[in-house]
Amino acid sequence: MTDHLLEQAAPASAVTHLELELAGVDKVYSSRRGSTEALRGIDLSVASGEFVALVGRSGCGKTTLLRILAGLLPPTAGEVRAGGRPVWRGTRRDEETVSRFGLVFQDANLFPWFSIEDNVALPLKLRGTDRATRRARAHELCDLVGLGGFEKSLPRELSGGMRQRAAIARALSCDPSVLLMDEPFGALDALTRDRMNMELQSIAASTGATVVFVTHSIPEAVFLADRVVLLSPRPGRIHSVVDVDLARPRELEIDVEPGFRETVRSLRGALDEED
Amino acid sequence: MEQRGLSKWLPWISAPVLLVLLVVVWSLVVSVFGISEFVLPPPSAVAASLGELLVDPETWGHVQVTVSEVLTGFVIALVLGVLGGWVLGRVAWLEVAMRPALVAFQVVPKVALIPIFVIWFGFGLTSKVIMAAILAFFPILLNVLLGVRSVDPGHRDVMRGLGASRWSTFRNLELPSTLPYVFAGMEVAIVFSVIGAIVGEYLGGNEGLGFLVVSSLNALDAPALFAVIVLLAAVGSVLFFAVNLAKRLVIPWHESVSEKEFA
């Protein structure tokens, strides 16, 4: 009964906005060979509609942090909240909260047996949306991410960049309040990556979703984010947080502007400090 | 593009060419070296014998017997292999516990068991069906086991991220992801089923193509022996291509099904 009341109450606060909060999050991986401390004392707040980039060297725990946020990996200690509700209750996650997230991984992870349309509409299918609505929504989203006309194609018939677009469309299909992206463009060539960054910027602006974006590219982080969070490794901690004061919408040519270069330089400096 | 076009029509040309080549070399070898008809009958004699065989209604009775043994054994193996493979794939400790038994059973030359089945089940269909089923069981079991274990962890993340139920995960991810392995197992298994049934027929009973092989041998009728073997090869091919066709229909999206099959 209380659950029911909670569900009734949720939509009021849930319109499309959702802020994220991590407090004292630790993660320790234990195996037979001993334990590895992946994250220590992560405190971070992400405002509703904010675009935050997590940057750091490989092995600094940025993917672990994102997986904890996404409800894929329970934290060892600490609180993770979305819109004031805990994402994790011990090692059980709150399905209601997690259902408002859209996830994009480094690999597109499309199901090869489904057409692009069925892949994009998979989240809707799992929610029991009828076929006609699913098809219409998939069509709309394919247009949005520049895949119009490829609805009936199979994933293997598409290029890497197109597959990643489809993965983004899939993440958007349930109108998520939060987009969690783990190096989504890491496997793409530089030109495609630039284009995807432009498109992601406009998608983020038009949906008003809160975005947490993991990358190892400092320029990419500065281009996309309102704030860049630098993580340092072993164990993963927040090294510094840098605000990016650049007007939006940003053009690719922004990389020659002094403000952009200064931010990139200071982040590089901070990253080098660790060694 | 060029390459794909070539691989599309080349087998249709190479297969008849190779067949003709085989027949020509065969005839030449027989006539040049003057080989006895009891050792290697000329293709013409085999063809004549095959013609006689094909018009004899009794032959088709034997074909029917063999095919029904093969298919019954194959279906039993398919059901048990998929169930067993699925369970062993999902329950790690059970697989570990069963491993010694599986290995032991796999290294036993299973055709050596036929006499035992004959003692237990007689000379009828049952012993042959069991042989076909046992030979077909392992490739299916092992492939399904591998398939269940091979579900992409990235795909699992997608389903978990979406809060998918166990049933949705099975229906949308595990089942389609395992099907290519099931079919790979089936393609091997159907061939093994034929072997099981034929060897079973060699050893006992008075029906089926295996029996026809043995009776041709006893009659010292080499052309008939060769003709039955040709017929067996044809039956085996038809069964294999039936499984292959099913694969193309059920998993048209898979890499093992070539591009040209798409509408």
Residues A201-242 have pLDDT tens digits of 988 888 888 999 999 999 999 999 999 999 988 888 899 898
pLDDT of residue B174: 94
3-state class of A29 per DSSP? strand
Residue B176: its chain A contacts at CB < 8 A?
111, 113
**Mean pLDDT over residues A8-13, rounded?**
36
Do strands A34-46 and A227-232 pair parallel, antiparallel, or not at all (unpaired)?
A: unpaired
The CATH number assigned to the domain with range B41-257 reads: 1.10.3720.10
Per DSSP, what are the bridge partners of residue A227? Answer: A52, A243
Smallest CA–CA distance, residue B230 to chain A, in Å, is: 38
Does residue A33 have a pLDDT over 90? no
Per DSSP, what are the bridge partners of residue A51? Answer: A211
pLDDT confidence band for B156 (50 / 70 / 90): very high
Q: What is the pLDDT of residues B139-151, one digit of tens each?
A: 999 999 999 999 9
pLDDT of residue B4: 62
pLDDT of residue A12: 34
3-state class of A179 per DSSP? strand
pTM of the model: 0.83
CB pairs under 8 A between A and B: 53
Residue B160: its chain A contacts at CB < 8 A?
71-72
Calculate the dihedral angle through the C-alpha atoms of B10, B11, B17, B20, rounding to the nearest 10 degrees: -170
DSSP run (H or E) holding B93: helix B92-107
- Number of Cβ within 10 Å of residue A159's Cβ equals 11
Statement: A16-100+179-275 belongs to CATH 3.40.50.300? yes
pLDDT of residue B196: 94
d(CA A160, CA A142) in angstroms, rounded, equals 15
pLDDT of residue B151: 94
- Interchain contact, B253 vs A98, CB within 8 Å: no
Does residue B8 have a pLDDT over 80? no
Q: Which of B152, B154, B168 is nearest residue A126 as measured by Cβ atoms? A: B168
- Interchain contact, A126 vs B172, CB within 8 Å: yes
DSSP single-letter state for residue A250? P
pLDDT confidence band for B3 (50 / 70 / 90): low
- Interchain contact, A125 vs B254, CB within 8 Å: no
Per-domain residue ranges for chain A? 16-100+179-275, 110-175
B36 vs A220, more confident: A220
Per DSSP, what are the bridge partners of residue A102? Answer: A179
Amino acid at A206: S
**Mean pLDDT over residues A147-164, rounded?**
91
- Interchain contact, A105 vs B173, CB within 8 Å: no
- Interchain contact, A109 vs B168, CB within 8 Å: no
**Mean pLDDT over residues A46-56, rounded?**
92
In percent, the amount of chain A with pLDDT more than 90 equals 47
Does residue A13 have a pLDDT over 50? no
Beta carbons of A110 and A153 less than 8 angstroms apart: no
Does residue B56 have a pLDDT over 50? yes
pLDDT confidence band for A65 (50 / 70 / 90): very high
pLDDT of residue B7: 75
3-state class of A70 per DSSP? helix
pLDDT of residue B205: 80
Does residue B162 have a pLDDT over 70? yes
- Interchain contact, A109 vs B173, CB within 8 Å: no
pLDDT of residue B259: 54
Q: Which of B155, B164, B253 is nearest residue A154 as measured by Cβ atoms? A: B253
- pLDDT, averaged across chain A: 87
**Mean pLDDT over residues B215-231, rounded?**
93
d(CA A195, CA B219) in angstroms, rounded, equals 78
DSSP run (H or E) holding B254: none
Does residue A79 have a pLDDT over 50? yes
pLDDT of residue A224: 94
CA proximity to A225, closest of A208, A250, A194: A250
The tokens 């994933």 sit on which residue?
A155
Instruction: Compute φ and ψ for B108, nearest 5 degrees.
Output: -65, 130
pLDDT confidence band for B262 (50 / 70 / 90): very low
pLDDT confidence band for A275 (50 / 70 / 90): low
pLDDT of residue A223: 94
**Mean pLDDT over residues A243-261, rounded?**
88
**Mean pLDDT over residues B151-158, rounded?**
94
